[in-house]
Amino acid sequence: MSSFLNGKQWVVLGIAGIVALLVVAFLLVGPPQLLAKSDSPGFCAGCHVMESEHTAFLHAGAHRRNRCVDCHLPNENLAIHYVWKSIDGMKDAIFFYSGHTPERITLSEHGAKVLQANCIRCHEELVSMINTEQKCWSCHRSITHLRSGAIETL
């Protein structure tokens, strides 16, 4: 009776496992500067398609003290934050390097839920007496990247 995997397949599987462990180890204990740098607005603006969003962010009043990840990634716990940071980062890199970046960047349905949750998280006291089902940016249009001073006329 033949085995499920032959010798060559076991070697490939073993090498893939070792590489996966090394990648996980690097991500868990890699240079802290790497994670800190990837949290900065300048890192997000590194893709040329994000230039106008970054410029608008710099003119966004009080919110310019935040990092992109404070609003655009889940922040309820560290594990979920890094899972979504990885997913979003890979998606953005694939779009950018494949040349399929949309001309106008918009929020996905998941992104809108995350953004709304983060607005409520940061402004919990202020919004405790209002309907939090309505998207915050439907009234506070000046906090969106497209309506924050620098490119308000778009």
> Which residue type sits at 73?
L
Q: What is the pLDDT of residues 26-42, one digit of tens each?
A: 776 666 677 777 888 88
Give the residue extent of every domain in the chain.
1-30, 32-147
Fold of domain 32-147: Multiheme cytochrome fold (1.10.3820)
The values of phi and psi at residue 128, to 5°, are -65, -20
pTM: 0.66
- Alpha-carbon distances of 140 from 65, 119, 135, 146, rounded to whole Å: 18, 11, 9, 12
Q: What is the pLDDT of residues 113-138, one digit of tens each?
A: 999 999 889 888 888 888 778 888 77
